[in-house]
Homo-oligomer: A and B are copies of this chain.
Amino acid sequence: MKTEIISIGDELLIGQVVNTNAAWIGEQMTMAGIKVYQAVSIADDYDHIFEALKLASERADIVLITGGLGPTKDDITKKTLCDFFDSKLVFNEAVFEDVKEIFRVRGRQVTDLNRKQAEVPDNCTVIRNVHGTAPGMWFEKDGIIFVSMPGVPFEMKPMMTDYIIPELQQRFNLPAIYHKTVLTQGVPESEMAAMIEDWENSLPHNVKLAYLPQPGIVRLRLTASGKNRDKLVALVENEIIKLKKIIGEYIFGFDKDTLEEVVGNLLREKSKTVSSAESCTGGYIAHLITSVAGSSDYYKGSVVSYANEIKSRILGVEEKDIERYGAVSESVVSQMAVGVREKFKTDYAVATSGVAGPTGGTKEKPVGTTWIAVATSDKVFAKQFHFGEHRGRNIRRAALMALDMLRKEL
């Protein structure tokens, strides 16, 4: 069974918008066990849309269409759909109720243009849009399924996950699929692969492993397919128990978790507070922590001590130690953590000092050299890391590592 994705929108062809919808739909369909044959981006143009539908129907069993349904553009797209599927537009009261509800919530008036959005071809099944005014439309023609969805990702995604994929699974009697993604921090992908090789080789034949790249984090996605979803869940959970025995210390969460949320939840559960003292990460740890709503429950703040004088004057690092060992040293980063913890009166503190690059490296301390410290009520400890040469990635890797060291301490 083959799927073709058609993305409609001039903005995609002139490069104003990157087509993230096609990638997301491709991932969802692949995870559901349905192959995506190709993805095409086309213009908001009657002939072009008609031609794309015709070509797709010659090679695909399922055609997923996004875009071209905004209030100023849907004239063209809907007219093309009507002509292609030999239908005519009819006013749909249920869709109009949804449109009115969206406008009521936003405190705005419904215009004639919006009323027209409630007109849909008479031979499609309407898919409700709970986040916007353009409904989804499911057509069938000569045994091929066509689904038209809005281009706004926020509106399109729930249609896919809540309606279209379950419907396709049922219709084609697809195997049940269960995914779980294991999130790890602190080991590069190649080392991780070596560590879990034996485990990977002994996975049941219906459980597949995929490495998903993301800066600073290695994600392992397990996908099980079979008849009974409950059994698949049990199967995957059992494999994760085995995996934890091998790399448990590097696993910080699952699926959509973020390290900053996991650390925040641990602090909140234990009613503990934290502060940070940042040199090379330059406020990025603070930014990650405070990007989580409600972080003021456990986060008191940070001293970004970019200049050495701030390390000594505000954080109380001994000037002679900065001179003797350099700012990027175990001694200085440990004093930074202890200093901010005392000043800010928190239970924990983390501190970073490193050579972010691209300049500032020496033979002994090349770009990427980073010290990270964690201070608690009764101790302080620090570790040295060697990240890469790219400034932005060094900052991110150091911040994630600091959060992960704190997580392990919690």
With contact pairs A301-B303, A302-B304 given, residues A357 and B15 touching in the complex (Cβ less than 8 Å): no
Pairwise interchain contact B304-A290, C-beta atoms closer than 8 A: yes
Stretch among A36-44, A117-125, A144-152, A195-203 lining the B interface: A36-44
What CA separation (Å) do A12 and B23 show in the bound complex?
Answer: 6
For A40, the chain B residues whose CB sits under 8 A away are: 38-41
A282, A310, A344, A359 interface centre (most CB from chain B within 10 Å):
A282
A13 within 8 A of B: yes
Scoring A residues 269 to 310 as 1 if CB is less than 8 Å from chain B, else 0, what string do you get? 000000010100011111101110111100111111111011
In the complex with contacts A18-B18, A290-B283, A391-B293, A13-B38 CB distance below 8 A: yes
The answer to whether B304 touches A304, judged by C-beta atoms less than 8 angstroms apart, is yes
- A contact face: mostly helix, strand, loop, or mixed: mixed
Given A36-B13, A212-B16, do A395 and B301 touch, yes or no (CB 8 Å)? Answer: no
**Contact between chains at A343 and B314 (CB < 8 Å):** yes
Q: How far apart sit A30 and B307, CA to CA, in the bound complex (Å)? A: 46
- Tier of interface size on chain A: 35 or more
Contact B303 A307 (CB under 8 A): no
Complexed CA–CA distance, A339 and B14 (Å) = 49
A54: interface (CB < 8 Å) = no
With A16-B27, A19-B22 known to touch, is A301 a contact of B304 (CB < 8 Å)?
yes
Identify which of residues 42-57 in chain A touch chain B, using a CB-to-CB cut-off of 8 Å: 42-43, 48, 52, 55
Q: Give min CB distance, A152 to chain B, whole Å.
A: 14
- A325 contacts across to B, CB distance below 8 A: none
Q: Is A163 an interface residue (CB 8 A)?
A: no
Neighbouring B residues of A158 by C-beta, 8 Å: none
Given A20-B18, A287-B287, A304-B302, A26–B43 Cβ distance below 8 Å? no
Cβ of A28 within 8 Å of any chain B Cβ, yes or no, is: yes
Cβ of A24 < 8 Å from any Cβ of B? yes
Instruction: Report if A307-B302 is in contact (Cβ < 8 Å); known contacts: A283-B286, A343-B314.
Output: no
A392 at the interface (CB under 8 A from B): yes
User: Is A17 engaged at the interface, CB distance under 8 Å to the other chain?
Assistant: yes
A20 closest partner in B (C-beta): B18
A358 an interface residue at 8 Å Cβ cutoff? yes
Cβ contacts under 8 Å, A26 to chain B? 12-15
A286 partner, pick from B16, B213, B286, beta carbons under 8 A = B286
Chain B nearest CB from A225 CB (Å) reads 15
- Nearest-neighbor residue (CB-CB) of A399 within chain B: B287
How many angstroms between the C-alpha atoms of A213 and B306 in the bound complex? Answer: 33
A400 within 8 A of B: no
Q: Which of B39, B55, B314 contacts A12 (CB 8 A)?
A: B39
* Minimal beta-carbon separation of A80 from chain B (angstroms): 15
Residues of B within 8 A of A286 (CB): 278, 282-283, 286-287, 304, 306
A309 to B38, alpha carbons, bound, how many Å? 57
Q: A25 within 8 Å of B by Cβ?
A: yes
Instruction: Output the least CB separation between A200 and chain B (Å).
Output: 18
Q: List 16 A-B contacts (CB under 8 A).
A: A16-B213, A18-B19, A18-B20, A19-B39, A37-B48, A38-B41, A40-B40, A278-B286, A283-B287, A290-B304, A290-B306, A301-B303, A301-B304, A302-B302, A303-B303, A309-B345
Show the binding face of A for B, using Cβ within 8 Å: 12-20, 22-28, 30, 36-43, 48, 52, 55, 212-213, 276, 278, 282-287, 289-291, 293-296, 299-307, 309-310, 313-314, 343-345, 356-359, 391-392, 395
* The 7 nearest A-B residue pairs measured at CB: A15-B27, A283-B286, A282-B290, A283-B283, A15-B26, A302-B304, A300-B307
